[in-house]
Amino acid sequence: MLSFLKPAQRFVKGAAVGLTAFALTACDPSTLNTGQRISTSAPVPVALLVPAGSSNAGDAQLAQSLENAAKLAIADLGDVQIDLRVYPTAGDPNTAQASAVKAVNEGAKIILGPVFGEAANAAAKAVANSNVNVLSFSNNTTIAGGNLFVLGPTFENTANRMVAFAKTNGKSNIMTVYSQNSSGQLGNQSIATAINAQGAQNAGSVGYEFSQEGVIAAVSQIKLTADQNGADVLFLTSNTSGALPLVTQLLPEAGLSPATIQYMGLTRWDIPSQTVELPGVQGGWFAMPDPVLTQQFQSRYAQAYGGLPHPIGGLAYDGIAAIGALVKAGKTDALTTGALTQGAGFQGVNGIFRLRADGTNERGLAVASIRDKKVVIIDPAPTRFGGAGL
């Protein structure tokens, strides 16, 4: 039997960076600020808040990657001038709050970052009365709203893409299997919302305690629910560092084989690369950014800085790219909420994206499958949005 991280307390990171603070309160929409006006004849002061100074060893590399990506984006803007000012947060909400206030006092017209949800929430609230918008690198939608936007890929966006693809391909009776922790519960909610929004059928959901024993105990109920409700898709919220290896081993053994029911993932099944070797994920579907654009960014970053960017480093590039595109239009309202949420969106290093008025985002994703231990794109990422932003 395959084993994954046994103690439940080790599953605290969720599916992606920034999903650890679900109890946070979003900025009050009733105090929605329009954002700073800018001078079209001077460099635009942009503050970048990164987790430098953190006691977590990995945060230093993340901080440097974000700064590098932002500078790479600035170099690509041509005539648009950005005055980038970098501030450390130490991955701490109090430090993030102080850095945000300092940045605004020193002239910042917009803030990029921080990464972690609690820090982003603190920073945005600290500068809300100063009419400054914050484009955080978090993917925690519970903090979004008001002057705070999240740039990170969200469960809601992935769920909508996958449910729509499944329905288009004749798989519309979707059952969810999720972990009973914060990220798993958020994933379950996102999938349920997507099923309703896309007009598919909800074949129920089964949760499991976030431990190896919890997965084993839930297998029989998962099988029973799938059979009773005639599910033709199993939508799994877990990732490789969590329960995915064990779930995809035990379910086929219980009679829910990928050969008879479609497996679908809410997280990336190609990260880490060893995941594609798992027998249980063969034939499964998951969403990912445009791999061609991702590879181009990684190559350019490596050429400039001598190594690969952090997995979320590209978000800093996206933030600068969006700001630059708006500033290039030569309007003083380039950094206002109305401009940031334009329906056409922006081109990022991983594909198209747009910000929504509720502080969340929509990203153009490809749908991939794993075949013979290789990732195969079965539906390319869109290159433009078909309608106005929500």
pLDDT digits (tens, 9 = 90+) for 300-312: 999 999 999 999 9
Q: Give yes or no for residue 36 having a pLDDT over 50.
A: yes
Name every residue whose Cβ is closer than 8 Å to that of residue 151 and which is 6 or more positions away in sequence. 135, 136, 137, 138, 139, 315, 318, 319, 353, 361
Give long-range contacts, CB 8 A cutoff, 24+ apart: 341-346. Answer: 341/389, 342/389, 343/385, 343/387, 343/388, 343/389, 344/384, 344/385, 345/385, 345/389, 346/318, 346/321, 346/322
Is the peptide bond prior to 272 cis by the omega test (within 30 degrees of 0)? yes
Instruction: Indicate the range of 30-34, 312-316, 354-358 predicted with least confidence.
Output: 30-34
Question: Quick check: 287 and 158 in contact, CB under 8 A?
Answer: yes
Q: What is the pLDDT of residues 346-387, one digit of tens each?
A: 999 999 999 999 999 999 999 999 999 999 999 999 999 975
Strand-pair category, 346-348 with 374-379: unpaired
pLDDT for residue 289: 96
Taking the C-alpha atoms of residue 134 and residue 26, their distance in angstroms, rounded to an integer, is 13
Strand-pair partners of 49: 87
Residue 270 CA to residue 282 CA, distance in Å, equals 11
Spell 358-368 as b/e; 16+ CB within 10 A means b: ebbbbbbbbbb
Give the gyration radius of the chain's Cα atoms.
Answer: 21
As a whole number of angstroms, the distance between CA 222 and CA 387 comes to: 38
Residue 247 buriedness (CB in 10 A; 0-12 / 13-18 / 19+): buried
Three-state secondary structure call for residue 264: strand
Paired tokens of 128? 């809300």
266 membership: H or E segment, kind and range: none
Predicted local distance difference test score (pLDDT) of residue 166: 98
Confidence (pTM) = 0.89
Query: What's the rounded Cα separation, in Å, for the pair 107 and 70?
Result: 19
- pLDDT, averaged across the chain: 91
Please tell me the predicted confidence (pLDDT) of residue 387: 58
Write the DSSP symbol of residue 28.
P
Asked whether residue 134 carries a pLDDT value surpassing 80, the answer given is yes
Residue count of the chain, please give it: 390
pLDDT at 11 over 70: no
From CA 190, how far away is CA 175, in angstroms rounded? 13
Residue 100 has pLDDT above 80, yes or no: yes
